[in-house]
Amino acid sequence: MAALTVGAATLPLAAKSEDALRFDPQAFTQQSLTMPDGQQVNYKAYEGIFYVRNVEDSTYQTLNIYVPEKLADIPAVPVFLRTYVGGYAASTAKSPSPADATGRALKEGYVVCIPGSRGSNSTIVRDGQTIYTGTAPNGLLDLKAAVRYLRYNDDLIPGSSELIFTDGTSAGGAMSSLLGATGNAKDYEPMLKKMGAADVRDDVFAAICYCPITDLNHADMEYEWLYGCTNTGVRALSNAQIVISDELAAECPAYINSLGLKMSDGTPVTADNYKEYLKTFLIASAHKALQEGCEIPDTIGFSFYQDQSGPMGAGPAPAGRRGTRPQIGDGRNAPSFGPGNMPRFNKTSDFVTGLDLDKYLSYVASVTPLKTPPAFDQMGVLIDTPSPENNVFGNEKGEAANFTDFSLRHRLGNVKAQLSDDMKFRVAVMNPMNYIGSDKSTVAQNWYIRHGAKDRDTSFLVPLNLATKLQNAGKNVDFFLPWNRPHSGDYNLDDLFAWIAGLVR
Ligand code: DHB
């Protein structure tokens, strides 16, 4: 079937048939990239393809597909869908890079898809008016439409649309988590239909989420509940900020308890034991780093096993630090997070014996200054400046908006103010937590979630709750807090691609 790619949106209405979404296997250019090891990877590049019939924003609503010359020699080749969304902004369809997972995926013989998507700053001019096109959930809808495009053309695009791996970092990690959590959910259906997305399923096989900035409507309380211990210390908040921090933190225990999460051994996770639960993951991270030869200062909260005949085999480690070779230990061969395999500190064989969490959080805050409260829905509470999240929840005119009752009430000075039903809906469809463990969607079976052990862009609760909820729902979850990692993504690709290979090879 001849496909209409670039320019389809400008064709007369009569030509906008179902076929406008058909992939043209002949419409490629030959391209290559050179990997860091010098290997040249050749591939066919199919670029600038519109993935919806009713294109509103031709700058962003396109995708690129890259098909390696040497497809992996396996019965079904995965499709690696990488979003470059950052800061909830718009993102154009990009080319693969040897420096990240896209180049690596091509080298592995996997098909790569890089969709663009609208975001907080994308605009078009309509009737002389500037219209913001990427207000939430439009960016997500674009990515879901891209998934549908792949499935709609499964017979024409090499690779299997039943093996789609989504990947993104930060706001892109949030998008990846949403793609993983919201497959086929009815909430999005009318909007996708209006856009002219292909009328096929949009569930995916696996979601790779690096530091997902998600659960936005609870992220403020989670941030203050965790980092409140630093308010009068390294964070040095003003009195007014402390009042807001305390109010937010006070809302968090009820939220934690409402989730009904369980540890892998079935123990309920509550606000009372949450910090001990979190500590097991931070200790697992430090422990792994020590095993990999990293140095960990004595001053950041960890305590160490110091038996003379201890596991290091060389007597007590020198004062000031433990371990030998300095390097980033980011959790390669990390213990996987799956049923019955919770990272647990083993006191007799491991050499991190404990963690003073408050001390460690102060360390994290000393590396990168924390956000001020509220960390996400900040507009109009103590400062007027909108956050990226205020912008993405804004309107077509580009006016930013609050997305929690808490901040709305503070901004309006009205303790009874409430989000509109429309805003509540927009917030709900942007939160993967609403879909996991429900019957509202087809949730991806496989999850790879990473959040750096010194990443303070959101609270550790956000990725940990996501991972735990998925695990509780019976999903295959590989979750780790890689040691010494700040807010970043697509790192430790050997580990990631070993995980992928384990699922598809
Ligand atoms: C991103 C980082 C943030 O701290 C945030 O609040 C939203 C998005 C990002 O890097 O995408």
Q: For the whole prediction, is pTM greater than 0.75? A: yes
Phi, psi (deg, nearest 5) at residue 354? 180, 175
- Bond into 374 cis (ω within 30): yes
Nearest CA to ligand 1 atom 5: 87
Residue of 117, 169, 210, 213 best suited for mutating to test ligand 1, as the one with most atoms within 8 Å of CB: 213
| pLDDT score for 349 | 54
CB proximity list for 248: less than 8 A, separation 6 or greater: 220, 221, 223, 224, 225, 373, 374, 406
Q: Can you tell me the distance from the alpha carbon of 298 to that of 281, in angstroms, rounded to the nearest whole number?
A: 18
The span from the CA of 212 to the CA of 457, in Å, is: 9
Contact yes or no for 493/101 (Cβ under 8 A): yes
The answer to whether residues 209 and 176 touch, using CB atoms and an 8 Å cutoff, is yes
Burial annotation 61-83 (CB, 10 A radius, 16+ → b, else e): bbbbbbbbeeebeeeebbbbbbb
Q: What is the pLDDT of residue 18?
A: 52
Return the closest-CA partner of residue 247 out of 374, 78, 383.
374
Q: Hey, which residues does 209 pair with through a beta bridge?
A: 168, 449
CA of 487 to the centre of ligand 1 (A): 9
Ligand 1 pocket check for 120: Cβ under 6 Å:
no
In angstroms, the CA 188 to CA 145 distance is 10
> Which of 88, 209, 210, 218 should be mutated for ligand 1, with most atoms under 8 A from CB?
88
Q: Is the peptide bond before 137 cis (omega within 30 degrees of 0)?
A: yes
Ligand 1 contact, 228 CB (< 6 A): no
The answer to whether 288 and 334 are in contact (CB under 8 A) is yes
Rounded distance between C-alpha atoms, residue 351 and residue 32, angstroms:
46
**Residue 216, ligand 1, Cβ within 6 A:** no
Residue among 83, 170, 404 whose CB has most ligand 1 atoms within 8 A, to mutate = 170
Classify burial at 179, counting beta carbons within 10 Å of its beta carbon; exposed 0-12, middle 13-18, buried 19 or more: buried
Q: Measure 171 CA to ligand 1 centroid, in angstroms.
A: 6
| Nearest alpha carbon, ligand 1 atom 8 | 87
User: Can you give the pLDDT of all 505 residues of the chain as single tens digits?
Assistant: 333 333 344 444 444 445 799 999 999 999 999 999 999 999 999 999 999 999 999 999 999 999 999 999 999 999 999 999 999 999 999 999 999 999 999 999 999 999 999 999 999 999 999 999 999 999 999 999 999 999 999 999 999 999 999 999 999 999 999 999 999 999 999 999 999 999 999 999 999 999 999 999 999 999 999 999 999 999 999 999 999 999 999 999 999 999 999 999 999 999 999 999 999 999 999 999 988 888 899 899 999 875 545 444 334 444 444 443 323 344 444 444 443 343 444 444 557 889 999 999 999 999 999 999 999 999 999 999 999 999 999 999 999 999 999 999 999 999 999 999 999 999 999 999 999 999 999 999 999 999 999 999 999 999 999 999 999 999 999 999 999 999 999 999 999 999 999 999 9
Ligand 1 centroid to 86 CA: how many Å? Answer: 6
Backbone torsions φ then ψ of 336, nearest 5 degrees: -80, 155
Query: Residue 486: CB within 6 Å of ligand 1?
Result: no
Q: Comparing C-alpha atoms, which of 150, 143, 231 is closest to residue 195?
A: 143
**Helical spans, DSSP H, in 138-205:** 138-152, 171-181, 189-195
Return the ligand 1 atom nearest residue 172 CA.
Answer: 11
Quote the CA–CA distance of 483 and 350 in Å, as a whole number. Answer: 16
| Run of H or E including 112 | strand 111-115
**pLDDT confidence of residue 421:** 98
- Among protein residues, the one whose CA lies closest to atom 2 of ligand 1: 87
| Nearest residue to 449 (alpha-carbon basis) of 478, 474, 473 | 478
- What local confidence, expressed as pLDDT, does residue 328 receive? 36
Find out whether the beta carbon of 354 lies less than 6 Å from any atom of ligand 1. no
CB 153 within 8 A of CB 22: yes
Distance, CA of 333 to CA of 323 (rounded, Å): 18
**Is the beta carbon of 444 within 6 A of some atom in ligand 1?**
no
C-alpha dist (Å) from residue 307 to 201, 297, 346, 353: 57, 18, 15, 11
Q: Which residue is closest in CA terms to ligand 1's atom 9?
A: 87
> Is 58:42 a contact under the CB 8 Å cutoff?
no
